Amino acid sequence: MTIADTTDTRPDQTVIDGSKFDAEEARHARNKRLESVGKWALPAIVVLLTIWGWDHVVKVNNIPHYILPSPGLVAETLYEDWGTLFPSMLVTLKIAMMALLVAVLGGVGLAILFTQSKFAEMAFFPYAVILQVTPIVSVAPLIFIYVDNRTVALLICAWVVAFFPILANTTLGLKSADHNLRDLMTIYRANRWQRLRYLQLPSALPYFLGGLRIAGGLSLIGAVVAEYVAGTGGIGSGLAFRILEAGYRLNIPRMFAALLLIALLGVAIFMATTILNWFLLRKWHESALKRES
């Protein structure tokens, strides 16, 4: 046997494997860069194409502005009527945020009560379901009849819509704590409040944040629907009344401008709840941890 026959070829194999590994890492980094760019570029391209198509349809078909205004006219109207629309946007936003706050306080409080007392859950949970499945449009007129304060009536209407997702998700989260950890806390003789604080509440946080993301949009929807039903104008009027007012006057560009502000409010609320979700879960929960693809 010669020396060449006994030479180990594993270092060459290591070099080959190393080059393959480097190529795989480069491909992975390239895909991550494309994904990070596409996450923002693709939605922007779709929005720009939609606006271009809208403007093209209006110009080609000579559609009058009182039927379908062009995007440029909507933007111009938004700029010119900003002094009217911006205060109304603040009114709608205030009602939605107040309703969301009350929904969080009431929903989390009732969810804790339901998990601590089975009898309380059996007694009150059906009424929460009834509130959820009853259309707010059918309930709002009664609320405005029995509640004299217009702001409080709007708040109640928006709260009814936003309340149930918080309650249902938080209740599910509180009940979803690991049973092995429950048994461990029982072994260490933890009382119910220690079990709630150190086990159930942290386990319920992702569920609560998921419900909050849903309830944020629903609170805005509830506020807008309540303003439609109220149908009263004045200084404290929200965006829904501005839409009704513009419809009565056939000021369709202002209607579109108000609708655009409502959509932007909804996007802003969703983004805020998404950021809060990431901030609270980014270090420990699977839904917020970065995954290697």
In the block, residue with structure tokens 């860069």: 33
Residue 32 has pLDDT above 80, yes or no: no
Confidence of residue 21 (pLDDT cuts 50, 70, 90): low
Q: Give mean pLDDT, residues 183-205.
A: 88
29 falls within a domain: yes
33 falls within a domain: yes
164 in the same domain as 232: yes
84 in the same domain as 4: no
Tell me the pLDDT of the chain averaged across its residues.
86
Confidence of residue 111 (pLDDT cuts 50, 70, 90): very high
Q: CA nearest 255: which of 83, 69, 89, 56?
A: 69
Q: What is the CATH number of the domain that holds 199?
A: 1.10.3720.10
pLDDT at 266: 94
Q: CA nearest 51: which of 79, 67, 72?
A: 72
174 close to 117: Cβ distance less than 8 angstroms: no
Domain hosting 35: range is 1-62
Q: Give mean pLDDT, residues 122-133.
A: 88
Confidence of residue 51 (pLDDT cuts 50, 70, 90): very high
292 falls within a domain: no
Cα–Cα distance for residue pair 129/158, rounded to 1 Å:
16
Residue 292 has pLDDT above 60, yes or no: no
98 in the same domain as 152: yes
pLDDT at 270: 94
Q: Give mean pLDDT, residues 70-75.
A: 93
Residue 1 has pLDDT above 70, yes or no: no
170 in the same domain as 123: yes
Which DSSP string corresponds to 9-62? -HHHHHHHHHHHHHHHHHHHHHHHHHHHHHHHHHHHHHHHHHHHHHHHHHHHHT
Using the 3D structure, point to which of 14, 45, 62 is the last residue of a domain.
62
45 falls within a domain: yes
47 in the same domain as 187: no
Alpha helices of the chain — where are they, by DSSP H?
Answer: 10-61, 71-80, 82-116, 118-133, 136-146, 150-175, 179-187, 192-195, 201-230, 239-248, 252-281
Q: Give mean pLDDT, residues 89-117.
A: 94
Residue 293 has pLDDT above 50, yes or no: no
pLDDT digits (tens, 9 = 90+) for 209-229: 999 999 999 999 999 999 888
Using the 3D structure, point to which of 12, 39, 62 is the last residue of a domain.
62
287 falls within a domain: no
108 in the same domain as 53: no
Q: Of all residues in the chain, what percent carry a pLDDT higher than 90?
A: 50
pLDDT digits (tens, 9 = 90+) for 4-17: 455 555 555 554 55
80 in the same domain as 58: no
pLDDT at 36: 77
Contacts of 181 (CB under 8 A, 6+ apart): 199
157 close to 220: Cβ distance less than 8 angstroms: no
Using the 3D structure, point to which of 62, 80, 112 is the last residue of a domain.
62
281 close to 209: Cβ distance less than 8 angstroms: yes
Cα–Cα distance for residue pair 32/268, rounded to 1 Å:
26
187 falls within a domain: yes
pTM of the predicted protein model: 0.83
85 in the same domain as 28: no
Q: Lowest-confidence range among 70-79, 196-205, 279-288?
A: 279-288
26 in the same domain as 170: no
Total structural domains in the chain?
2
101 falls within a domain: yes
Q: Give mean pLDDT, residues 68-78.
A: 93
287 vs 193: which has the higher pLDDT? 193
184 in the same domain as 113: yes
54 in the same domain as 100: no
Confidence of residue 183 (pLDDT cuts 50, 70, 90): confident
Give exposure, 261-270, as e/b (b: 16+ Cβ within 10 Å).
bbeebbeebe
Integer CA distances (angstroms), 188 to 47, 115, 174, 191, 192, in order: 57, 21, 20, 9, 12
191 falls within a domain: yes
Q: Give mean pLDDT, residues 86-102.
A: 94
Confidence of residue 290 (pLDDT cuts 50, 70, 90): low
233 in the same domain as 190: yes
